[in-house]
Amino acid sequence: MATTLSSGAQEPKRQRGHLRVAAIMEAGVAVFTEKGYDAATMTEIAARSSTAIGSLYRFFPSKESLADALLSRYVQHTTSGFATLADQAPAMTPHQLADAFVDFMASLHSQRSLAVALVDARGGSDERRARFRETMRGGIATILRNAIPHLAKAQSETMAVVLLHVLKAVAGAGEEKPAARRKLLAEIRKLVRVYLEAAQNDTD
């Protein structure tokens, strides 16, 4: 299993280093999520992970490389989740699939907010943003075709774009108070459900 460190970073070679890297990444998640990419400062990330600024830069040679690593980790989580969903999709009704989608996004939890901070906001390179989106869309489109066999490829891709957007709302739900949150999730479930059912009916 490759490390999450990417481009140019020094891989830690000792136990201590791995712990440090983990602490930095967690602090990075927190700060980027709270402040957004631009407003986050490396100094604060270092402080929150009790790391000297120089040590932070040993493992992540730039602010962007830290963001990259964080995003990569998120992409891996998501990709493998999508792969699982794709396997189960053929046996699912649209209703079940809708729930599965929402449950999965809800499980990503705080990480979604991070992705928003790093991808949707300015500051990240356009290329990375584009690649990230393509990955997400592709994963969803595949799931859709597995669940709704007669769905045309083009149509599945358009739907994926829409669905991906809708599912982002699940992350947003995290900011609401528990009661409102629950209601909101139920409503999103419903939205996805009627959408998927309509799609299935169209293809029949």
Partner DNA sequence: AATGAATGAGCCTTCATTCAT
Partner DNA sequence: GATGAATGAAGGCTCATTCAT
Minimum gap (Å) between residue 123 Cβ and a copy of itself: 6
**Dihedral over Cα of 171, 33, 2, 137: its sign:** positive
Q: Provide the greatest CA pair distance for the chain.
A: 61
Rounded to the nearest angstrom, the gap between the alpha carbon of residue 166 and the centroid of all alpha carbons in its chain is 13
Per the CB < 8 A criterion, the answer to whether 197 and 94 are in contact is yes
Q: In the set 51, 72, 113, 156, which binds DNA (CB under 7 A)?
A: 51
Q: In the set 19, 83, 152, 198, which binds a copy of itself (CB under 8 A)?
A: 198
Site map (CB under 8 A) of a copy of itself, residues 126-165, x = contact: ----------------------------x---xx-xx--x
Query: DSSP readout, 3-40?
Result: -S--TTPPPP-SHHHHHHHHHHHHHHHHHHHHH-TTT-
Answer yes or no whether residue 30 interacts with a copy of itself by CB under 8 A.
no
**How many other CB atoms are there within 10 angstroms of residue 31's CB atom?**
24
Minimum gap (Å) between residue 159 Cβ and a copy of itself: 6
Q: In the set 34, 87, 103, 134, which binds a copy of itself (CB under 8 A)?
A: 34
Alpha helices in 12-125 (DSSP H): 15-35, 42-48, 53-59, 63-88, 94-108, 110-115
Rule CB under 8 A: which residues touch a copy of itself?
Answer: 34-36, 38-39, 116-117, 120-123, 154, 158-159, 161-162, 165-166, 168-169, 172, 180, 183-184, 187-188, 190-191, 194-195, 197-198
- The residue ranges that bind DNA (CB under 7 A) are 10, 12-14, 16-17, 20, 39-44, 51-55, 57-58, 61-64
